[in-house]
Amino acid sequence: MTLPHPTAEQISLPNVLAVLGDPTRLAIVRYLASKEGVPLNCSQFLDLCSKTNLSYHLAKLREAGVTRTEVVGTSRLITLRRDDLDRRFPGLLDSVIAAAADDAALPVVGAHEIKIQA
């Protein structure tokens, strides 16, 4: 089974910018980019907001064409649509992710993980 995604051509710039203009969704995208290639399921992002709200934000990202969601059993595997985004908007994703990395005020996925002592 597969969920509705826009084609690469249907991805709209104002839409992508608006969708990325939300700290929670920016955190999701950053994390996806940091785990590029590895499909993640929704539960990875549960420290950002409630499950219901997460479902909403992930739907926004998918509908804007920023992420791809694959239904596998009872979970959704989420990936960044990097090739499509890079083709439609060259350099945009990279500059957004790099800028986000410098912003200490942004929420981060896994911010409360236990750190291994040196």
Given the rule CB under 8 A, which residues bind a second copy? 12-23, 26, 88-92, 94-96, 98-100, 103, 105-106
Rounded Cα gap, residues 35 and 6, in angstroms: 23
CA triple 5-24-49, angle to 5 deg: 100
Residues 17-76 that bind DNA (CB under 7 A): 18, 22, 24, 41-43, 49-60, 69, 73-76
Tell me which of DNA, a second copy, none is bound by residue 52, counting a contact when its beta carbon lies within the kind-specific cut-off of 5 to 8 angstroms: DNA
Do 65 and 4 meet the contact criterion of CB atoms below 8 Å apart?
A: no
Residue 21: alpha-carbon gap to chain centroid: 12
- Provide the binding-site residues for DNA, judged by CB under 7 A: 1, 18, 22, 24, 41-43, 49-60, 69, 73-76
